[in-house]
Amino acid sequence: MDPASILRYGQFVTTVGGAVYAQRGIFSPPRYHTPTRVSFADVQARYGRNFHRAKRMPLGAFCDLVDVLRPRLSRLGVPPDVRTAIALRYLGGGSYIDIGAALGVHSATVYRALWDVIDAVNSSLTLDLDYQLENSTRRRSYASDFQGCRISPFDNVCGALDGIAIEQEQPLYTDVPCVADYYSRKGFYALNTHAICDSDYKFRWMACTSPGSVHDSTAFSGAGLGRSLLDRGSALARSMTRDGHCIAADEAYAARELLAVPWPGSG
């Protein structure tokens, strides 16, 4: 090969490389990121009155959660409470770009905090799903806690139910009977997920067995708990009707007379 050609080629690469570095783009080499120390006070100041909406729980419940997760979160890096706040905001629909901009942290810190918190939750036995709805003593305890934390005339609510479409990638036609069943009314492929929490915002029950296009009431009635509640002859349905207990839910369930306040059949 002609040496002159090699020199010209090298000069061309050097010129392009310099231009790319000067005009930062997707091919630009990453610049050094200066770590930012952020405290929980910074998080509270950033979200202010909207803290409970951004984290999907009030401050008291958030602090209780941090106390449970703290032993399983490393003290290195951002503090455990900040790490938990980052993860909850991301899981609540926040973008890693917005979280990073709001708190002044790198995107890698956002994702690291997310997985650290998820691992801590999965390894915390006190956060296991443990509803025991068939236990009348537990139901009375749930109802008492709900009435105690709110100014409400109802003393029979033993859980709050709602559903959400969890976005997923388009499933393969070889993996599911009908791909279209997973396309939700919100405009993306999803799983119809339902969960019940207690008065402390702690999840007690969850089901994720229906595709995204299924109506909430239909999806819940297909889950094990839903089938038990619909079966008026089941021990659970008879016990809840006798005690006058109910699970609070919105009109998506009341339309099918699955759940309402008061419990159907209790008068």
Query: In this structure, are 148 and 103 located in the same domain?
Result: no
- Claim to verify: residue 150 and residue 47 sit in the same structural domain: no
> Does residue 16 fall inside a structural domain?
no
Q: Which residues contact 53 (CB under 8 A, 6 or more apart)?
A: none
Q: Reduced to 3 states, what is the DSSP secondary structure of residue 223?
A: coil
Average pLDDT across the chain, whole number: 81
- Residue that is written with structure tokens 């709110």 in the block: 150
- pLDDT at residue 35, as a whole number: 54
Same domain, 226 and 140: yes
Higher-confidence residue of 109 and 221: namely 109
**Is there a single domain that holds both residue 141 and residue 236?**
yes
Helices (H) and strands (E) in the chain, counts: 12, 4
Long-range CB contacts for residues 254-258, cutoff 8 Å, separation at least 24: 255/217, 256/217, 256/218, 256/221, 258/217, 258/220, 258/221, 258/226, 258/229, 258/230
Give the domain extent around 87. Answer: 40-125
The answer to whether residues 143 and 250 belong to one domain is: yes
Residue 28 lies in a domain: no
Q: Would you say residue 12 lies in a domain?
A: no
Q: How many domains does the chain have?
A: 2
Report if residue 69 sits inside a domain: yes
Query: What digits encode the pLDDT tens for the residues 160-179?
Result: 898 888 888 999 989 999 99
Q: pTM for the complete prediction?
A: 0.67
55 and 153 co-located in one domain: no
Q: What would the two tokens of residue 224 be? A: 């094990």
Q: Are 247 and 142 in the same domain?
A: yes
